[in-house]
Each structure stands twice: as C-alpha cells, then as structure tokens.
C-alpha cells in the first residue's frame, strides 16, 4: 500500500510543485498518473522512489513513514521499487545486459545466479540479440526496453514508469504498455505516469490526474487492475 497524506513538495526554495496530495494505491494495483507537463507527475514519482522527501505531509510506503528511513533503509526500499525513467538513465559504459543486471549486482546477487534471469529478461523485451551492445548504439525504443528490463529484473513490488512511451512510436508504445500490464498481472503494483491521455484511456484502469501540483481527479484503485 502506498499512501500520500496531504503531501507537499518543493525543490529547495522554489515554489511548491506538489500541494495537499492525498493518494491511496493498494498493493497489486495499476494506476495511471496523468496531467500536463509541469503538473507534478515526475515529482510525485521522485518522492516514491525516495530520491526526495516530502516537504509537507506524510508518505507511507511498505507500512513505513518514508521520512523516518535511514540511508541504508532507503537503499533497501529502493530494491523493492523498479523505476523506468523518462531519460532512461542507462550507464553508457556498460552493456545492455550489465545495465539490466544492475539492481541484482548492487543487491549482492552473484552473476551465476542472475545470468539466466538477465538473458530471459532481455529476450522478453525483444533484445536477446543485443545483450552486449552498449546504450549509445541502441535506438530510443531499445533503450526504453532495456530500462524496463532493468526495472523489473529484480522482481520489485512496485514499478514506477515515468513517460515510458514518450520517445517511441505508437506500435512500440503499445508493446511497452503490454509489458507493464503483464507485470501487473504478475502481482506488481504499477504506477504509470504519462501525459498521453488518448493512450491511457484505451485501458480501463484507475487514473489520477494532477493539475498544478494537486490531485484534480482520481479514481481510487481497488485491487489488481485489469487490462482492456
């Protein structure tokens, strides 16, 4: 369960980018977060992957108030959260396989134990033949799929995706959406941020709309989401 109670957030001394956000996302649900550019979608996800702490209110994650977490606990919590960033954040000096293996490597899993898992994951996203290719040699869509494989390889409880279809063509966007729906079917909680309302509305899944840093409208997700 993810719970936001009256959450506010600002970057240093800047204006509040999130104000009075109340949100409740049950475990195993699929939730779209939408809104125009600057509405606060990325900031909301940023709070969820614990890159920043709320400047007001309370966020409860896995039953803990995130502001009480130690640095080590933050690291352990992040291992339970897979993130697909808008800008991918792949490491250019590592191969696609090494990028995908990153969450397992930092968790101390031995290569022999995750080798097959990484291979399978890259095959799942259609990049089985590009395992040794480095990100600069991959297309935008391929990078996106590597980022998705990295986000899910350690089987996290929560998957956060920030505009994961923003830089790919419609066919690839549909394929990527299918991957997230599949992950949700496997029991993962998925938060999918996108400003592409037309694409979102194709799926009968809960949508929270942000406007000017506040929740403008939202359907409370209940239990596991179902794909259209």
Q: Considering only 15-23, 101-109, 190-198, 220-228, which stretch makes contact with another protein by CB under 8 A? A: 101-109
Q: How far is the CB of 110 from another protein (least distance, A)?
A: 11
The reply to whether 64 sits near another protein by the rule CB under 8 A is no
Q: Whose Cβ is closer to another protein: residue 128's or residue 187's? A: 128
Helix, strand or coil for residue 198?
A: helix
Residues facing 25 on adjacent strands = 2
Do residues 219 and 34 lie in contact, with contact meaning Cβ atoms separated by under 8 Å? no
Helix, strand or coil for residue 54?
A: coil
The reply to whether 118 sits near another protein by the rule CB under 8 A is yes
The reply to whether 96 sits near another protein by the rule CB under 8 A is yes
List the beta strands (DSSP E) in the chain. Answer: 2-10, 16-25, 30-34, 56-61, 64-65, 81-84, 158-162, 189-193, 207-211, 214-218
The reply to whether 71 sits near another protein by the rule CB under 8 A is yes
Q: Whose Cβ is closer to another protein: residue 36's or residue 137's? A: 137
The reply to whether 83 sits near another protein by the rule CB under 8 A is yes
Residue 116 to residue 147: CA distance in whole angstroms? 18
Q: Which residues contact 131 (CB under 8 A, 6 or more apart)?
A: 95, 96, 97, 118, 119, 122
The reply to whether 115 sits near another protein by the rule CB under 8 A is yes
The reply to whether 69 sits near another protein by the rule CB under 8 A is no
Q: How far is the CB of 102 from another protein (least distance, A)?
A: 5
Task: Note the residues at the interface with another protein (CB under 8 A).
Answer: 49, 51, 71-72, 75-76, 78-79, 83, 89-91, 93-98, 101-103, 105-107, 111, 115, 118-119, 131-132, 150, 154
């Amino acid at each position: 369960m993810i719970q936001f109670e009256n959450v506010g957030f600002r970057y240093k001394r800047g204006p509040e980018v999130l104000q009075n956000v109340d949100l409740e996302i049950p475990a195993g649900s699929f939730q779209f977060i939408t809104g125009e550019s600057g509405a606060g979608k990325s900031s909301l996800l940023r709070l969820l992957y614990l890159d920043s702490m709320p400047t007001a209110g309370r966020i409860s994650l896995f039953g803990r108030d995130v502001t009480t977490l130690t640095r080590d606990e933050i690291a352990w919590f992040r291992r339970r959260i897979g993130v697909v960033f808008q800008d991918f954040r792949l490491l250019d000096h590592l191969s696609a396989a090494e990028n995908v293996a990153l969450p397992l490597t930092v968790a101390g899993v031995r290569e022999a134990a995750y080798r097959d898992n990484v291979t399978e994951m890259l095959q799942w996203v259609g990049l089985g033949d590009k395992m040794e290719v480095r990100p600069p040699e991959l297309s935008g869509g391929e990078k996106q799929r590597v980022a998705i494989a990295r986000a899910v390889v350690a089987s996290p409880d929560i998957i956060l995706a920030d505009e994961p279809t923003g830089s790919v063509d419609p066919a690839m966007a549909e394929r990527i959406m299918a991957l997230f729906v599949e992950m949700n079917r496997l029991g993962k909680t998925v938060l999918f941020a996108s400003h592409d309302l037309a694409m979102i509305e194709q799926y009968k899944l809960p949508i929270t709309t942000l406007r000017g840093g506040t929740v403008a409208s939202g359907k409370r997700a209940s239990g596991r989401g179902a794909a259209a």
